[in-house]
Amino acid sequence: MKKLNYFLLDLDGTLILGKKVLRGAIEFLEELKKERKKFIILTNNSSKSSTAYLRFLRKLGFPVNSENILTSGMATAIFLKERKVKEAYIVGTKSTIREFESLGISFNPQSKNLVLTFDTTLNFKKLEKATEILRKKEGVYVATHPDNICPIEEGFIPDVGSFIALLKEATGKVPDFIPGKPSKYFFEKAMALLQAIPEETAIVGDRLTTDIKTGKDFGITSIMVLTGETTRKDLENSEIKPDLVFENLTELTEFLRSRQ
């Protein structure tokens, strides 16, 4: 196996579940820092800003800095800015909207552009407005990521993919682009931020269709941890196969130590 010096890390189901730190997660990041490995947490969860995530993760005890976090919300705002889109109706939490505005995308309730994020404050009024925009479809429609569900301590809750499906049923429209995992766009942004070498890079996550698919699509080492969405049975039945599988991050840390 190649020597791994760069790590793309999933968040929900890999490092945390809700407010719960998963087994071995903090120790794993401490090990990466000790061995001078570069890492970035790539989360599709766009319910918080990167600043809010930084505060949240530090409070839980994770040894992270701002350069260690890239959300699908950040990637979506950057994507829009690169395409000269300056405003949109953003279905999102106040934290997420503040992040978009800090990155140059202002919230405009009269906009023809629609951005769909993981809005944990979603209500019927927001859905009604999104439906109105999509029925006319005169602007850009972007969703941050495609995940149908988000793992939490009690199980799962609906995620952006479920919102996309609801709006498709109501309007017949689907997003023009989805910047989050497993898109090439998100991957390339993360690799550029890390200045990573593909053959020395691994992605670690709990989802076959996003994390592991990203690894397979872009020729980097894919590592599955069975602490989130995917079960052993799912793994056996899937055509997408990770390079390595561990029960948790404690096992992965021990594996990496054994190869030093």
The predicted pLDDT at position 153 comes to 83
Percent of the chain having pLDDT more than 70? 100
Q: How confident is residue 151, by pLDDT bands cut at 50, 70 and 90?
A: confident
pLDDT at 10 over 80: yes
71 found inside a domain:
no
Express each pLDDT in 159-178 by its tens digit.
999 999 999 999 999 999 99
52 found inside a domain:
no
> Is 140 found in the same domain as 95?
yes
pLDDT at 1 over 70: no
1 found inside a domain:
no
Structural domain harbouring 206: 6-44+181-258
Express each pLDDT in 33-89 by its tens digit.
999 999 999 999 999 999 999 999 999 999 999 999 999 999 999 999 999 999 999
Whichever domain contains 209, its CATH number is 3.40.50.1000
230 found inside a domain:
yes
The predicted pLDDT at position 171 comes to 98
pTM: predicted TM-score of the whole model, two decimal places: 0.90
> What's the number of domains the chain is made of?
2
Q: How confident is residue 155, by pLDDT bands cut at 50, 70 and 90?
A: confident
70 found inside a domain:
no
> Is 167 found in the same domain as 108?
yes
The predicted pLDDT at position 59 comes to 97
HEC secondary structure over the chain: CCCCCEEEECCECCCEECCEECCCHHHHHHHHHHCCCEEEEEECCCCCCHHHHHHHHHHHCCCCCHHHEEEHHHHHHHHHHHCCCCEEEEECCHHHHHHHHHCCCEECCCCCCEEECCCCCCCHHHHHHHHHHHHHCCCCEEECCCCCEEEECCEEEECHHHHHHHHHHHHCCCCCECCCCCCHHHHHHHHHHHCCCHHHEEEEECCHHHHHHHHHHHCCEEEEECCCCCCHHHHHHCCCCCCEEECCHHHHHHHHHHCC
251 found inside a domain:
yes
77 found inside a domain:
no
Express each pLDDT in 217-246 by its tens digit.
999 999 999 999 899 999 999 999 999 999
Q: What is the mean pLDDT of residues 136-149?
A: 96
> Is 210 found in the same domain as 163?
no
> Is 160 found in the same domain as 90?
yes
The predicted pLDDT at position 49 comes to 94
pLDDT at 2 over 90: no
> Is 160 found in the same domain as 112?
yes
The predicted pLDDT at position 15 comes to 97
> Is 200 found in the same domain as 167?
no
Q: How confident is residue 187, by pLDDT bands cut at 50, 70 and 90?
A: very high
> Is 239 found in the same domain as 187?
yes
Express each pLDDT in 192-209 by its tens digit.
999 999 999 999 999 998
196 found inside a domain:
yes
pLDDT at 121 over 70: yes
